[in-house]
Amino acid sequence: MAERKTGEAKNLDAIVVGGGLAGLYALHRLHRMGLRALILEAGRSIGGTWFWNRYPGARCDVESLEYSYSFSDELQQEWVWPERFAAQPDILRYINHVADRLALRPFILTDARVVSAVFDPGTDRWTVTTAGEVFQAPFCIMATGNLSLPRLPPFRGLESFKGNWYHSGLWPEEGVDFSGRRVGVIGTGSSGIQMIPIIAEQAGHLVVFQRTANFSVPAENRPITPELDRSHKERYRYWRDEARRTPFGIAGHPPPTRSALEDAPEQRARVYEEKWGTGGNISFLYAYNDLLVNRQANETAAEFVRNKIRSIVRDPKVAELLMPRDHPIGTKRLCLDNGYFETFNRDNVTLVDVRSDPIAEITPSGLRTRTRAFELDDIAFATGFDAMTGALLNIDISVDGGPRLGDKWAHGPRTYLGLMTAGFPNLFMITGPGSPSVKSNMIASIEQHVDWIADCLRHLGDKGLKGIEPDEGAESSWVEHVNAVADATLYPQANSWYNGANIAGKPRVFMPYVAGLDKYRKICDEVAANDYRGFSLKR
């Protein structure tokens, strides 16, 4: 990886913070425009999510042929995905391949965590500081990720634990061997659900500490055959165009046209059974057109999954605990699994309900709930992230003599289009709060944002403009619109990381824009076509 540590302030056209899928594509686009740009990445290497999340079973839940860059036909033709849902090592390999193919490495500084970014309105420049270096540029692009600040709840006694502990989002690069060990997994969201079946196979005994039962549907993961690879690639352009016309940025799933309530129960069961067998979360949630807007319709899908859990898990008490009842299906990330519920039939797996019997403390030899003690050699925390705003607010972002982002967002993030925030000129966010982001195929969202930002910078350059900033009024209207769209759905009924409910004290604001990436793309294009409506451009 590049090492260009001169200690001097560097004059650049743009600074990109973050070397994941977003930062790398941003760097590539900026270079193609002839701009001098650099990535500052906190990690030892590039890859973002796919560098940090190396826990057993980590893989994408959007099919690999879709969850990949579409901007280069060469890239998409030459890369071969081995599985329907690629595993973390394959995605990381792909990202490294892209960085090499696009010759990006000399322009990436790793081990470079940005601690502050300050805008000087006098010179119209951002000064971006890492632990040891200072960089300057008129534009700063935050590609810091939506799920990149791991969250570790403040468990009493953790420092006293004599065993090893790990967080899913900071997993050791050398891997962990759980063979024969007594392991505790805390958390049963996406990461927990992915790692639990695999750790169970290795561990002597696995104790799963569950606070919230989550819905999960089978991945039906399988190898991609050479025939499928070939036939998909023959029509890649068509599939990508299709994906652009969908709300989630994912092709191959025709939008449903019927309400779940239009079908008789037997017919509905057949539809859900077919979706369950197909595998995949989009497929399942696309069974009917009202699953995310009508509670009664949603309940039919939720009850189908609960019945599946009843039929898979042999111990009825355990099955009951695993059945989600506190949120509509799909309003938290619908997990994809490979044998998750089956895992609880194993003799070496114990499920502990920490909602009724909360974790009191971590002890030197394990963990104690209010009523029981567990001896553990290892603890794996699958407790998620300070999502969507965490990594941004972890940087001290301010305007010299003006506002701090942390103060402005004290009651929740405010953005215009999830791309910029008023009062902070020339600061872009990729997949920021208020954009479809995590409610879409993230690579599709990343490409759309990067393309919009690159076109915007070209426009500013062509017109000899110094900067861009959203108007307060446009921002307020956008924030209201994002909320109104969410309020028309069932999403706000769940306590989830979509609305900050997973972090004590975090403001409860629904952050993703859920009208769909297709509609959102049109809005962004119209804004640009109308001379960047809602933005002020600086001469």
Name which of 161 and 381 has its Cβ closer to ligand FAD: 381
Classified as helix, coil or strand, 222 is coil
Sequence-distant (6+) residues with CB within 8 A of 407 are none
Stretch that binds ligand FAD, among 73-81, 363-371, 373-381, 439-447 (CB under 6 A): 439-447
- Interface with ligand FAD (CB under 6 A), residue from 16, 17, 260, 359: 17
Handedness of CA 440, 441, 446, 449 (dihedral sign): negative
By CB under 6 A, residue 22 contacts ligand FAD: yes
Write out the binding residues for ligand FAD, residues 175-214 only, by CB under 6 A.
191
By CB under 6 A, residue 302 contacts ligand FAD: no
- Interface with ligand FAD (CB under 6 A), residue from 27, 42, 287, 323: 42
Name which of 446 and 453 has its Cβ closer to ligand FAD: 446
Rounded to a whole number of angstroms, the minimum distance from the CB of residue 147 to ligand FAD is 4
Among 300, 288, 297, 302, CA closest to 330: 302
Sequence-distant (6+) residues with CB within 8 A of 530 are none
By CB under 6 A, residue 61 contacts ligand FAD: yes
By CB under 6 A, residue 428 contacts ligand FAD: no
Classified as helix, coil or strand, 297 is helix
- Interface with ligand FAD (CB under 6 A), residue from 281, 283, 431, 435: 431
Write out the binding residues for ligand FAD, residues 125-144 only, by CB under 6 A.
143-144
Rounded to a whole number of angstroms, the minimum distance from the CB of residue 443 to ligand FAD is 6
- Radius of gyration, CA atoms only, the chain: 23
Classified as helix, coil or strand, 181 is coil
Among 22, 9, 161, CA closest to 453: 22
- Residue 431 has φ and ψ, to the nearest 5°, of 55, 45
By CB under 6 A, residue 19 contacts ligand FAD: yes
Rounded to a whole number of angstroms, the minimum distance from the CB of residue 237 to ligand FAD is 21
Residue 180 tokens, joined? 């024969």
Question: Contacts with ligand FAD: how many residues (CB under 6 A)?
Answer: 37
* DSSP H or E stretch at residue 74: helix 73-78
Stretch that binds ligand FAD, among 285-293, 309-317, 353-361, 440-448 (CB under 6 A): 440-448
- Interface with ligand FAD (CB under 6 A), residue from 14, 49, 64, 363: 49
Stretch that binds ligand FAD, among 19-27, 171-179, 212-220, 322-330 (CB under 6 A): 19-27
Rounded to a whole number of angstroms, the minimum distance from the CB of residue 320 to ligand FAD is 28
Residue 31 tokens, joined? 């270079």
Q: How far is CA 94 from CA 26, 44, 150, 152, in A?
A: 17, 17, 23, 29
Name which of 135 and 341 has its Cβ closer to ligand FAD: 135
Pairing between β-strand 134-137 and β-strand 125-130 as defined by DSSP bridges? antiparallel
Name which of 143 and 454 has its Cβ closer to ligand FAD: 143
Name which of 391 and 515 has its Cβ closer to ligand FAD: 391
- By CB atoms closer than 10 A (0-12, 13-18, 19+), residue 122 is exposed
Tracing tokens 């979360």 back to the chain, one arrives at 281
Query: Helix H segments across 153-294?
Result: 190-202, 226-234, 236-244, 265-278, 281-285
- Interface with ligand FAD (CB under 6 A), residue from 14, 43, 135, 155: 43
Name which of 497 and 510 has its Cβ closer to ligand FAD: 497
Rounded to a whole number of angstroms, the minimum distance from the CB of residue 48 to ligand FAD is 2
Q: How far is CA 442 from CA 57, 97, 147, 458, in A?
A: 20, 19, 11, 24
- Interface with ligand FAD (CB under 6 A), residue from 12, 16, 65, 67: 67
Classified as helix, coil or strand, 364 is coil
Rounded to a whole number of angstroms, the minimum distance from the CB of residue 19 to ligand FAD is 5
Residue 260 and residue 267 in contact, taking contact as beta carbons nearer than 8 Å: no
| Interacting residues with ligand FAD (CB under 6 A) | 17-23, 40-43, 48-49, 51, 53, 58, 60-62, 67, 113-114, 143-148, 191, 391, 394-395, 430-431, 441-442, 446
